[in-house]
Chains A and B, each alone.
Chain A
C-alpha cells in the first residue's frame, strides 16, 4: 500500500508539472473588442492635420535621416505608386483609427494561437503570434505591418515586430528604414488601453523612439471603416519616371515652421537632444 501511495503521489506531481509546462499561453487580461482613440490632444498637430514641413522636433533622428527628409518633396506623394502608401506598424497607431482585437484559439485545446488586430485606417490586419513560432528569415518579404510575435509580461502584452517596410517616422518625409525593429506594450486599465511603442532604427535614429497613444473601449464596435485606396494618374502626360526632390541645401521650406513657431531652425531640425526637457533651457538661453 505504501509503495502504491508513493507511486500515486509521484505520478500526481509529474502530472501537475506536465500540465504546468504545457499550459497554453492564456492572456492575463482581455484585449478583445473594439477600441477607439482617446482623443488626439497629445501630438495633435502631427496626428490630425499632419505635421508641417521641416518640423522634425522631438525625434532622435541622425544627420542621415535629417538630410533624407530635407530632400523630400511632398509632390512625390502624387506619383501613382506612392498614393496608396500605408503607415507602417511603427506609425499607424498615431491614427486617426479605430482598432478591433480578437483572439484565435485552437479548436481542440483552446490554446491561444494568435491575437489579431484590425486597423480601420488603410484596412490593415496585424497578427501577434502567441504560439512561440520564430520570425521569418531575413530574406523574407517585408510588409507594412511586419511579422509580430507576442508574449504576456504580467498583465502587459508585449509584441515584437520585424520585417517592416520602409516608411516614415513622421509623415513629412522623415524616413524610417526597412530594418527597424518595433517593440510594443498593450496595457489595459479598465476600459482604457494604452499602447506604447519603442522603435529602433539603426539607419536613421540615434536612439529608440518611444511613443504612446490611448484608446477607450468603443461602445459601437461597428465603427471600423473601410479604406479602399485606388491609385490614379491625375495629370495626363505627366512623366511617371520623374521623382521630385530638393537638391541638397535647397529645401525652400527650411525656415517656414521654425519662423512660424519662433524657434531656431536647429530646433526644428530635431535630434535626440530636442526630445528632452533640458532642451527648453537651451532654447530660452538662445533667445
Chain B
C-alpha cells in the first residue's frame, strides 16, 4: 500500500522538481541554510568586489552589534553598523528591508532569530548602497522563498526572494570593473520598473514605492500600510544632511519630492505625534514632525542655494557663504563619506544641471 502510494506520487514530485529546476538558480548546499542564528555561512561564489577590496579595518567597522526595537504592528527596526533595517514579522514569515553590510549580516540574522523563528521570505533593497544590499547573500541564504513552496525550500535550498527597483539590479551588474556584484545570491530576483511594486504579506499590504532621482535613481520607500510604518532607506538620514548621489542619478528636487511624499503619507495620532512612524536609513526612529523639520531644513537650504545661483555666485562663493550654517552643529560633517561641502555641491549640481 505504502509503496503503491509512493509510486503514484513519484511522477508528480518529479514533474514539480523538473519545473523548479528550470526556473531556479544553482544553489548552496543545505548546510548554507541559517536557521538558528549564529554566524551565517559565507556565500559561495564571488563576493561583492568592493567588499573584497575593502581594507580589513573598514570591514571590521562594518561588523558589530545589531539591536532591535519594536515599532508598532508587525514592524521592528534593527539598528546596526549599516544603519537601520526594517523587518515585518508574521505567520507567513519575515520580510527584511535592507540587509546592511555583509560583515554584519550574521548579527542581523541572529537578531531576527531572537524575534521570530519564521522563515525569511522576502528581502527588499531600498537602494544600491552597500549598507542596503551588502548582506543580501547571507540574509537571503538564511531564508527561503515562497515560490517553490516547501519543495523549493527543502529540495533546492533557494534563498529568499529579493525585490528592488530595476535600477538597483542594473547598477549592481553594470558597475565599473572591480565594483561589480557578481554573486548571484546578492542580486535582486524580482525587479520592477513601474511606479510601485505591491506585495501582500503577513495579512498586510506592502507598497514598495520607487522614488526617482532622490538619493539615487533606484530608491524605494516601503510602506507597511496596516502597521502604518514607512521604511525610508537612504532618502532620509537622521544623522546627516541627505546623501544625494548625483553620479547615481540623485537630485535635490527628487529628494524633496520624497520628503514631501513622506509628509503626505504620515498621519499623526495626536497633536502632531505618533501615528505613522518612519524608519530612516540611519539614526533614530521618527514620526511626521521629525520628517517635517528635516524637510523644512532641506527646503530652506535648497532655496538659499537657488537664490545664490540666481545672483551668479560660483560654487566656491556659495560654500564660503555657508548656506547651511545654523544647521551644521546638528547635521553637518567635515570628515567622512558625506560632508557638508559634498551636500552643498550636490545641491548646486542638481540646480545647475542643463
Contact = CB atoms under 8 A, between A and B. Distances in A.
Interface of A: 64-65, 67-68, 71, 76, 81-86, 122-124, 137-144, 165-166, 177-179, 202-204, 227, 229, 231, 240-243, 245, 247-248
B268 interface: yes
B299 interface: yes
Contacts of A229: 271-272
Given A81-B288, A241-B299, A68 B270 contact: no
Contacts of B287: 141
Contacts of B328: 64
Contacts of A84: 268, 271-272
Contacts of B84: 139
Interface string B314-332: 0000000101011111100
Interface of B: 67, 69, 77, 79, 84, 256, 260, 263, 268, 270-274, 277, 283-290, 292-293, 295-296, 299-300, 303-304, 307, 321, 323, 325-330
Given A84-B272, A137-B67, 16 more contacts: A64-B325, A64-B328, A65-B326, A71-B326, A85-B272, A137-B79, A140-B69, A165-B290, A227-B271, A231-B272, A241-B256, A242-B299, A243-B299, A247-B303, A247-B304, A248-B321
A142 B271 contact: no
A141 B326 contact: no
A245 B84 CA distance: 32
Contacts of A143: 273-274
Contacts of A243: 295-296, 299-300, 303
A124 B268 CA distance: 15
A139 B283 contact: yes
A123 B271 contact: yes
Contacts of A64: 325-326, 328-329
A144 B270 CA distance: 11
28 contacts: A64-B329, A68-B327, A76-B296, A84-B272, A85-B272, A86-B272, A137-B79, A139-B69, A139-B79, A139-B284, A140-B284, A141-B285, A141-B287, A142-B284, A142-B290, A143-B273, A165-B289, A165-B290, A166-B289, A166-B290, A178-B290, A204-B329, A240-B260, A243-B299, A243-B300, A245-B303, A248-B321, A248-B325
Residue among A71, A123, A139, A204 with the most chain B CB within 10 A? A139
| B interface: dominant SS | helix
B118 to A, nearest CB: 24
A204 B326 CA distance: 9
B13 to A, nearest CB: 48
Nearest to B257: A241
Contacts, number: 98
B257 to A, nearest CB: 8
A142 B292 CA distance: 14
Question: Closest 7 A-B residue pairs measured CB to CB?
Answer: A68-B326, A67-B326, A141-B285, A243-B299, A84-B272, A139-B284, A64-B326
B266 to A, nearest CB: 8
B268 to A, nearest CB: 7
Contact of B300 (A65, A71, A86): A71
Nearest to B284: A139
B293 to A, nearest CB: 5
A26 B327 CA distance: 44
B329 A203 contact: yes
A178 B285 CA distance: 12
Contacts of B272: 81-86, 229, 231
Contacts of B277: 141
Contact of A166 (B77, B285, B293, B307): B293
Nearest to B71: A141
A190 B292 CA distance: 44
Contacts of A122: 271
A115 B192 CA distance: 52
Contacts of B295: 243
Nearest to B277: A141
Residue among B67, B284, B323 with the most chain A CB within 10 A? B284
Nearest to B270: A123
Contact of B286 (A124, A141, A179): A141
Nearest to A242: B299
Nearest to B294: A166
B278 to A, nearest CB: 10
Nearest to B282: A139
A144 B284 contact: no
A137 B300 contact: no
Contacts of B323: 248
